[in-house]
A and B are shown apart, each in its own frame.
Chain A
Amino acid sequence: MKPKPYVRVLQYIALGFFICFLGFPLLWLVTTAFKSPRELTTINPTLFPTMPTVDNFFAAMTHNNLGQALLNSLIVAVSTAVVTTVLALPASYALARNRSRLRTVTIGWILVSQVFPFILIVIPLFIVLKNLGLLNSLQGLVLVYVVWSLPFTLWMLLGYVSAIPSDLEEAAATDGAGKLATLIQIIFPLLVPGLVATTMFAFISAWNEFFFALVVIQSPELQTAPLLLARYVGAEGNVQLGPLAATALITTLPGLLIFAVIQRKLISGMMAGAVKG
């Protein structure tokens, strides 16, 4: 069933188009980050820097509170990932082992919540956080992120727990192991890869999030990295492109690294979901 040669040629031309379309923007970000200010203002910009420099990275780290913003992002993303997983783990176990109506309700909520625009939820949330004194605080932001990523985290974990046969627990029970001992010694170790993937996913979602941060955080010293970057370009006109690209690159790296690690797991999970859905 080998395709004809001319089909193969067309296929490679199409593949070349996709490599350019998907790759050039990324390459441009990377090369811009290594260009000197003079090179960035020439009339005929080149794809690769003629004289690569790392000055932009120093400028990015020293100016604009990037260090503080990255630290804020890290605190928020780690807290979100840990709290979300700790809350979702018992719930996912309960839902996986009891085929109740609640499970349908949970999955239904995940789907239904996609239809509602964030504006509907963010205004009341803004009022609630204000009344709780959590507006303009990292704790408030973590609260929002936890609630926002819980349903999806739960759904992911549900898949991992369901994949562990309950015969395993019954076998342990007939061998005289207590319920808790079974959970800790038998089920938990099997869940670790799934838990890692889920935690990292929650981390990336929180690290990348922008809209809620825009509404919840006002003080410059509490800004997360995406917020800092958005305000930086919002200042328009006199934006220095080199440091901007460097900052953007630094902010993308953690997500990319984590993504490279969990890529396979995430995709197989998504694929299973896509086919089942």
Chain B
Amino acid sequence: MADSVASVATTTAPKRRVNLAQRQNRAMWWLLLPSLIPVIAFSVYPLANGIWLGFTDAAAGYDVRFSFNGLNNYAKLLKDDLFWNSFQIGLIWSFSVTVIQFFLALSLALLLNAGLRLQWLVRPLALVPWAMPSVITAILWKLIYHPDAGLLNAMLKNAGLITHNINWLGDFSLALPAVIVVGVWSGMPQTTIALLAGLQNIPYELHESAALDGANTWQRFTTVTWPAIKPVVVAITTLDFVWNFNSFGLVYVLTEGGPGGKTMLPMLFAYQRAFGNGEFGYASALGNAMVLIVLAIMGTYLWRQMREAK
């Protein structure tokens, strides 16, 4: 009797489970479709289409026909001095912002983790740029860099370091460093938080035992802290680099790429080409080139990190 019940149970159970799984699967699709459809229609499809446009001679305007033109856009890119200029500036900007920001954010995260006073002031301050629209951040810094009414010139003059007002954002050699400072400022929060999270995940005992072994502060940092936060460091610097390379709003409002193209980031250049000149195909080709460069740099960096880790 008991045997037969058990055998019935074992023979029927798998069948019912399959049905349940199927029903669950179907229900899952119904729950997913409302967000899946818009994302595919207005995000995945446009992206695929955008990559394709990079191989066409598409232009703005009503009912303009366009056709596949192979690698023509890319041949044109290679001969375009403005393209080389913008990519060079993009790399300088992206690299400088990421590196400077990383060192500042790491110091700040270490300070925030060191049990100092004034935390109530520093923590919110370190987060505010994150809640600000990039346009406002740009305006804020325009007020600081303002030649006549700006904070920076006033401070430097009071300190006796300069006698004439400097037009920070209008100067050919100062504009790029000036916008890099703004880039660093506005990206501090996410980098600091990511690093702080990494630091707070290190068990206190590790530090303690290293200290007992006679390790000084610097030795404890290199043997305990750094190895522990290394994965977070690699992740956040990679993301920062990509975000910075693709950044737009901040510099668009600060300088519009000027003076004389000295702060013309790739996205600003592509935007100008697409919506200023109506060259949709060429601008998309620029976008494709940006992806390639980012992937190449990211790939090399991650590959080196991984090889080191082994």
Contact = CB atoms under 8 A, between A and B. Distances in A.
Interface of A: 1, 3, 7, 11-12, 14-15, 18-19, 21-26, 28-29, 32, 40-41, 43-47, 87-88, 90-91, 93-95, 97-98, 100, 102, 109, 113-125, 127-128, 143-144, 146-148, 150-151, 154, 204, 207-211, 215, 225-227, 229-230, 233-234, 241, 244-245, 248, 251-252, 255-256, 258-260, 263, 267, 270-272, 274-275, 277
Contacts of A123: 50, 53, 58, 274, 280, 283-284
A250 to B, nearest CB: 10
A102 B31 CA distance: 13
Contact of B143 (A226, A241, A251): A241
5 contacts: A11-B116, A44-B158, A90-B30, A122-B274, A208-B132
Interface in B124-162: 124-136, 138-144, 146, 148-151, 154, 157-158
A86 to B, nearest CB: 8
Nearest to B181: A21
B275 to A, nearest CB: 7
Interface stretch (B10-18, B75-83, B193-201, B302-310): B193-201
Nearest to A29: B140
Contact of A15 (B24, B116, B151, B291): B116
A256 B130 CA distance: 9
Given A248-B139, A256-B128, A93 B31 contact: yes
A119 B42 contact: no
Contact of A91 (B35, B51, B122, B188): B35
B271 to A, nearest CB: 6
B116 A12 contact: yes
B232 A119 contact: no
Q: Is the interface of A mostly helix, strand, loop or mixed?
A: helix
A233 B267 contact: no
A164 B46 CA distance: 36
B236 interface: yes
* Contact-residue size bin, chain B (C-beta under 8 Å from the other chain): 35 or more
Interface stretch (B1-9, B107-115, B171-179): B107-115
Nearest to A18: B108
B34 A91 contact: yes
Given A117-B290, A128-B42, A151-B39, A208 B134 contact: yes
Nearest to B150: A45
B111 A15 contact: yes
Contacts of B154: 44-46
A234 B256 CA distance: 8
A25 B158 CA distance: 17
Contacts of B248: 118, 210-211
A100 to B, nearest CB: 7
B92 interface: no
A120 B42 CA distance: 12
Contacts of B24: 98
A244 B151 contact: no
Among all A-B residue pairs, the 7 with the closest Cβ atoms: A120-B50, A271-B197, A208-B133, A259-B131, A124-B46, A94-B31, A120-B287
Contacts of B142: 233
